[in-house]
Amino acid sequence: MDQAKERPVPHHVDEYEKLSDEEVRELLERSHNGDAEARERLIVHNQRLVWAVVQRFLGRGYEAEDLFQIGCIGLMKAVDKFDLSYDVKFSTYAVPMIIGEIQRFLRDDSTVKVSRSLKETAKQIRHVRDRLAKELGRQPHITEIAEAMGMEPSEIVFAQEALRAPASIHETVYENDGDPIYLMDQIADEETEGKFDKVELHEIIGRLPERERFIVYMRFFRDKTQSDVARVLGISQVQVSRLEKRILQQIRQELE
């Protein structure tokens, strides 16, 4: 238990020096004026805050790196929402935002009951996936992971979903106007409907670039609005809408 609480700072976090208060305020001002480079620098140089918060939530059945990624969403929100007129340090404002983001994730995910053996399977999948990625020079397909582990592709998908996705692509998601839709409905048409399964869809999503996978995850697995995603990514709702349409079109084409 003590070992979990004393997890060392990862290299990708430790390599960035701490910014002075003056540097932080200058970068915040530039970021709020649309300087994407300043925003990125603020985020990477303040990842230590996220890692410090993550230590409080270890030992709950989640990988530290997964919680770190969720915490970074809170950090990005803090960068975008911090008011320079506040008479407080940025870190004082950011830490509660990071904590809140992780707490929301844990609360939303709490309905997923995962057995100890399934968690162990998911951990093995992670190791095999990383090993294959190094050997192949790319992210492996689910079928390749399944073959390496002597499992069915559907078992790989189930284990990954159980830990990372509280919703299913077959469950209802909602647009802003409340009309129920399904991810399958979004990508299926008369020609492709019925010609693919869940495993194939997950393989295609897994091959998307990181930002596009994030959009699919937030929109269709976390039931977030386009505006929510836009705020996290620091782009407009219109841009998210265009990206989403392009992503769905790409998935549809690969399924044909």
Residues 6+ positions from 186 with CB-CB distance below 8 Å: 220, 248
Tell me the two tokens of residue 171. Answer: 């469950």
Do 79 and 117 lie in a common domain?
A: no
Do 118 and 196 lie in a common domain?
A: no
Q: Which of 43, 76, 109 is the last residue of a domain?
A: 109
- Does residue 173 carry a pLDDT above 50? no
> Number of folded domains in the chain?
3
pTM above threshold 0.75: no
Of 54, 82, 94, nearest to 70 by C-alpha is: 54
- Summarised one tens digit per residue, pLDDT across range 219-252 is 776 667 888 888 878 888 889 889 988 988 888 7
Provide the CATH number for the domain around residue 118: 1.10.10.10
Tell me the two tokens of residue 20. Answer: 């002075």
- Does residue 35 carry a pLDDT above 70? yes
Do 150 and 160 lie in a common domain?
A: yes
- Summarised one tens digit per residue, pLDDT across range 80-89 is 988 888 777 8
pLDDT in the model for residue 253: 78
- Does residue 26 carry a pLDDT above 90? yes
Residues 6+ positions from 247 with CB-CB distance below 8 Å: 208, 212, 215, 216
pLDDT in the model for residue 30: 94
Do 94 and 127 lie in a common domain?
A: no
Structural domain of 205 = 167-256
Do 9 and 102 lie in a common domain?
A: yes
- Summarised one tens digit per residue, pLDDT across range 116-170 is 566 778 888 889 988 999 999 988 887 888 899 998 776 776 666 555 544 444 3
